[in-house]
Structure 1
């Protein structure tokens, strides 16, 4: 017990003097006594008294405040603390749970909590109080910023999120008093965020209840239908499970194996996910991130209720890992296993540290029944996860637990990802996807196991190894065979990444990578690459605007540069150049303000070099792009438009969008192609052909003869005799494109050909 508490405890009001309605006082006394009796099973007597003092402190602080259900607010923190006490959490965590809303909802401060119960408890309460600001129905940017705070708090002390999970669980248990719209919103955020976090922490007892409550409030009709289906099935299936338990138990005794044989019912949400194909909720609907192809493929693997094998399962708990495998062999000798349904999570644990052997057997009558085999230690870890650290080591000295290590590794990965993420929305979506890892396990050439989420590609594998490996990868070998970088990986494959030091990330990778680290690393690199390119372009535009007045940026008055940088709330001149390059500021206006006063009003010289067009080389990078509406290529007459945030967008001068942009004349700049351009550009053709066998092959062969690459081909059947094809080609210039078109016009299949845009 802390010394400050001993000095001040007598100042607390006796429970009978608290301003709480008389009808609740007896109930409150009983709840406090019941809670203290529970914690007395594993805490010291002095600590139990401190828990009672915290109950009184919280009751006094929340006096006169009621929940929407009509009960006194103090019942909520008591229930939260009891949830954690059932898992045998440490003394300080329980105190913080009792006081977790005091700072947020009452006049008491962190300093008051620290004076009464110690700094450690105050820090925990303060950490939980900051998390109460998360509102998932707010704007995505604000939502993501609050997520950042949550993960930072988790990284500092995992007990913060434990209290938050218990708080959410009790809120879900009492959600019936909320309006329908609020129930659905809270249920969705529980299924998207809180339940997966509980799963990542290995706290399955919390996760399963959160998931079932979330499903019940989000889809009440579906929940009731499944609940009734389980009830109807229970009689016959439970009898079969009982027969299996008895037979297995008898054989275990014959073999002299000490074990516990238990039956297990799968929770409703687990059944629902199996039937839906286990597609994570954020990908099912209302997500800003499009689902990956592999996600959609998984979504199609839906099942009928009768095809879910593990509604009821048999669980065998033994004393050692060796015994697990002995029991597995014995079970396979008693009942035939279903091929392809065996999983060894002991050799390769799940991301949250879960370990067990899973197999599906043909039970009595040919009914498929799942069998799980694990040790006592694995069973505890499967139920309470990282909470086992405090349950069995209350002094908190052992920081080497496997579950703790895995969780901290996951948190380090998330914190690294959020540091790299430039867009809060991307961070939010990446976190949601990262919480649904449905793992695959692949091997490095040295035999090391790498865990990846379902649908992960060779690029995800490369970034998992190291960010530098991902940034420089150019190819991959899977089981010694070259494969495209976008190839999804499967469990058991050996993956080797091919790197080139001069290679750079391709923005197209963002269309297929699934890991948060890969997405954040690619965006981080591209963001910094764009900034460097924007600075160079901004410098070119500013020098062009200053041409004829000064010979270079070095001749500008330094005091004017510093003053202008300060005026725009920037820290460096490079940031101002980047703003110009990205089209956020007009170079001509900036140039005018940077000139000495005597030259600001003077007209530019008649031979002003600023009239010279800006040369386009095609290698400027992300700050110079080409309009997809007209797809200009070298040789076309072009014009440039400064598009805010994107830099220069180059259009053909007769593009239909040019007319609409003429209203912003100050953003149009004269551009022309540089000499001897070596890059390739996209051009689109519209081709009408006769619908006959082999026509597509003839078209592709003709294009190939002109040394031209085909990016995409889209076809539209107009009627039974003709087809319209849209060809996106890579060409070096207008003359190259003309050669392709001349070749296509010579084909007998060609009816009409035109360049689009």
Structure 2
């Protein structure tokens, strides 16, 4: 166990101005707070926050972050309170500890909504202070190093899956390559132990077979560069098992087909030496075409800079070589933590040039739900990248396979919304064209353009998908709002009320709607009926008889204008076929329900009793159409375009029909299917409405639903 003075000395080694008193207080407070608590290994629990703090010192982080590492579990697992931590260690530390505490339940489980909501909190917390993520990564790293002490194999696998899907990609995004690699390999041990063991065995066999080839290649590289006047530090390494396995999966190749399982890093004094070194390497050994990447001229979004090349190197082996300066190497290893001391506001999102994090916050704002946000984020976290340029030379980083639409949304949401075409390297291309590294992209815009639902199948970036979905959702919301307003207005008029005199606030409260707009949208979507709105707005509506005989009471037993049944028998119109005056009808005596009236061609009749005494020949009374309105059901297939719902509802209203309920049953990029229940006088009235709907250009087909 690291002792108190040892922890202070570790920090003092890189920060002479360390606040020794602060670290001492945190050490003692955490040890006392955790008291006799034990880890799964049987060790004192305090060892965990101590090891987390030690990992943070390896990153050379500031006092507040080290203290947060010591205290990160106190609010969740001990009796310590936020107020107590704030009083002893200040507001900055208290907020950091609280931020990490709120993320402690981020787990992959069957409760997808819970996991997604916690991830949403995670992004918000680290966007305010990136140190929250650094502490959480250190916490996860130590937990993964001790995961073998957890006895439940399902729990080990769940934690490993969460690590490789969430934490390792986040570590990579902030440039912490060493931590990302270790997290992945530790996860691999539990997610696919057989595959990992196979790869490790083959790597060991290659090492034994080739002898000290790594040492020989390192020495030859150093000597070759030295003869060219370049002093460099060279060291080699085998690629990690998880990295090898992922490449085998991605490229669909066997282990034997991999030819670059060794990688060498060349560390030089300055940037000029990097470019001179790459020239020497390419002059000495044959370069593999298409494998040279210049991340110095075009750094990755996490500020990673280096020159990458693959050559047929010494001993005729294919090897990967990375050339960088010492500062570049520090950033490649520790990412944001490497230059912490040089940025006064390094913990703030605006103090970092990590556009991906700002984009994640934008996706958070555009997503309809935490689950949708998690979906968009994972798309971006797991994607390889391509680098493209604007006409002005600005670098835009995109997921591999991105299209000009992705590019447009990465420039600005408004550019994406108004994109009508694109020039790639000066040539007009379809918007679905995949972009390649180095492409120069010019977006052609039109203010008349709006996003198409088809774009969702074209884009690959989470940012673009989130923006498109939000636009379409808001556009659809407007249509639902308009339809809901018309439905409520008609219901109020027929019940004898004036909607303009009502605020609908009582109905919002009863139906748990935040705003009147939300209420109307839900009515338009069919999630809330106008009857519910009436009864919520006017509580007396539940108990009073309807002012119109044509509105069926909840139990459906009002006097139906048909003849052929005994007087006094309860009668109900079948909800399966919605008979209306003019239909040929039949009655079925049903125990406990009286007589149910069906249309003669209702499909439900095939499943009812065959007892001839239960069947009644019914007919509508001569003035049935004058008794009021009756429910009918129609199915409309409409083109999926702006304003379609509004046109349909307006036309039904103009033809004196009244929509009482509707439901979207199917939706595709081109069409959507909507089931509408509406009040009509008789079959003739219904036929007129159907004929009128078929004249609309947005309508593909209209059919009455009889089952």
**TM-score, scaled relative to structure 1:** 0.73
Q: Distance in 2 between matches of 1:37 and 1:355?
A: 31
Q: Does structure 1 conserve the Cα–Cα contact (< 8 Å) formed by 2:160 and 2:187?
A: yes
Match of 1:126, SS state, is: helix
1:581 aligns with 524
1:111 aligns with 83
1:163 aligns with 135
1:327 aligns with 277
1:245 and 2:218 matched: yes
Q: Does structure 2 conserve the Cα–Cα contact (< 8 Å) formed by 1:475 and 1:485?
A: yes
1:558 aligns with 501
Once the 2 structures are TM-superposed, how far is the Cα of residue 602 of structure 1 from its aligned partner?
Answer: 2.1
Segment drifting more, 255-264 vs 199-208? 255-264
2:305 aligns with 355
Q: Does structure 1 conserve the Cα–Cα contact (< 8 Å) formed by 2:530 and 2:660?
A: no
Once the 2 structures are TM-superposed, how far is the Cα of residue 256 of structure 1 from its aligned partner?
Answer: 2.5
1:570 and 2:570 matched: no
1:738 aligns with none
Change (3 A) 1:681 1:514: same
- 1:107-186 → structure 2 map (5 Å cutoff): 107-178=79-150, 179-186=152-159
Cα deviation, 1:444-501, whole Å, max 9, x if unaligned, reads 2333321110111121111112111211223333334333322222222232323221
1:415 and 2:361 matched: yes
Match of 1:107, SS state, is: coil
Q: Does structure 1 conserve the Cα–Cα contact (< 8 Å) formed by 2:176 and 2:332?
A: yes
Cα deviation, 1:244-300, whole Å, max 9, x if unaligned, reads 3223322332332222122133222111111111xxxxxxxxxxxxxxxxxxxxxxx
Match of 2:304, SS state, is: coil
1:270 aligns with 243
Match of 2:353, SS state, is: helix
Match of 1:270, SS state, is: helix
Segment drifting more, 599-608 vs 487-496? 599-608
Q: Does structure 2 conserve the Cα–Cα contact (< 8 Å) formed by 1:205 and 1:383?
A: yes
1:679 and 2:658 matched: no
Q: Does structure 1 conserve the Cα–Cα contact (< 8 Å) formed by 2:238 and 2:262?
A: yes
Q: Does structure 1 conserve the Cα–Cα contact (< 8 Å) formed by 2:117 and 2:371?
A: no
Q: Does structure 2 conserve the Cα–Cα contact (< 8 Å) formed by 1:343 and 1:357?
A: yes
1:379 aligns with 329
Match of 2:125, SS state, is: helix
2:232 aligns with 259
2:476 aligns with 530
Q: Does structure 1 conserve the Cα–Cα contact (< 8 Å) formed by 2:130 and 2:348?
A: no
Q: Does structure 1 conserve the Cα–Cα contact (< 8 Å) formed by 2:487 and 2:660?
A: no
Structure 1, gaps ≥5 residues long: 1-27, 278-300, 627-637, 650-654, 684-732, 735-756
Q: Distance in 2 between matches of 1:642 and 1:238?
A: 77
Q: Calculate the aligned-residue CA RMSD, in Å.
A: 3.8
1:193 and 2:188 matched: no
Count of residues in Structure 1 that have an aligned counterpart in Structure 2: 607
1:41 and 2:59 matched: no
Match of 1:85, SS state, is: helix
Once the 2 structures are TM-superposed, how far is the Cα of residue 622 of structure 1 from its aligned partner?
Answer: 7.1
Once the 2 structures are TM-superposed, how far is the Cα of residue 100 of structure 1 from its aligned partner?
Answer: 1.0
1:506 and 2:506 matched: no
Q: Does structure 2 conserve the Cα–Cα contact (< 8 Å) formed by 1:58 and 1:102?
A: yes
Q: Distance in 2 between matches of 1:314 and 1:594?
A: 74
Structure 2, gaps ≥5 residues long: 551-624, 647-656
Cα deviation, 1:667-710, whole Å, max 9, x if unaligned, reads x9965253784636668xxxxxxxxxxxxxxxxxxxxxxxxxxx
Q: Does structure 2 conserve the Cα–Cα contact (< 8 Å) formed by 1:557 and 1:596?
A: no
Change (3 A) 1:363 1:595: closer
Q: Distance in 2 between matches of 1:377 and 1:524?
A: 41
Segment drifting more, 370-379 vs 574-583? 574-583
Cα deviation, 1:33-66, whole Å, max 9, x if unaligned, reads 5434423423448633542332222111111100
Q: Does structure 1 conserve the Cα–Cα contact (< 8 Å) formed by 2:402 and 2:459?
A: yes
- 1:487-636 → structure 2 map (5 Å cutoff): 487-545=433-491, 555-556=498-499, 558-559=501-502, 561-587=504-530, 590=533, 601-603=546-548, 618=638, 621=641
Q: Distance in 1 between matches of 2:388 and 2:436?
A: 7
Match of 2:360, SS state, is: helix
Match of 2:450, SS state, is: coil
